[in-house]
Amino acid sequence: MLPFAAAVARGLRLIVNGIVGPEMSDTGLTVPCMTKLPRRYDVTITVGRDGGDHPNPAEFAVAAGQAASARAASIVSAATASQIVSVVTVLAADQLAAVAVALAVVSDALERPVASSQRHSTAG
């Protein structure tokens, strides 16, 4: 299953730097000879609701932070009633690689919500 197939199945619409998905492909990226030094890219991804369940913004923020940390990236998100807008900052050789990392971060955050045991502490 493509990384965003689950999001699309839930009725979520994805916009990456102004390009509307889900028709984005899940192709692997290869870099035969990296000659450029990495530079910082800010990739904006908007997750909008198309009649589906919208992720809880607080849970999404925690999961997105964990996913970004695992990929040496950072993320800032803002939520409205109908969408979550995220800016993923990543060091990459080119924009294509940066977009791939940003999509992976948001995809992971959408696929693995924070466990309820992490959200609430229980009184003993």
Q: Residue 5: pLDDT above 60? A: no
The pLDDT of residue 44: 94
pLDDT of residue 81: 84
Q: What is the DSSP string of the chain?
A: --TTHHHHHTTEEEEETTEE-S---------SS--SPPEEEEEEEEEEESSSPPPPHHHHHHHHHHHHHHTTEEEEEEE-SSEEEEEEEEEESSHHHHHHHHHHHHHHHHHSPPPHHHH-PPP-
What integer pLDDT is reported at residue 111 of this predicted model? Answer: 87
8-17, 48-57, 72-81: least confidently modelled range: 8-17
- pLDDT for 31 equals 53
At residue 21 the predicted structure's pLDDT band, cuts being 50, 70 and 90, is: low
How confident is the model over 17-39, as a mean pLDDT? 57
Domain boundaries, the chain: 1-24+38-49+74-85
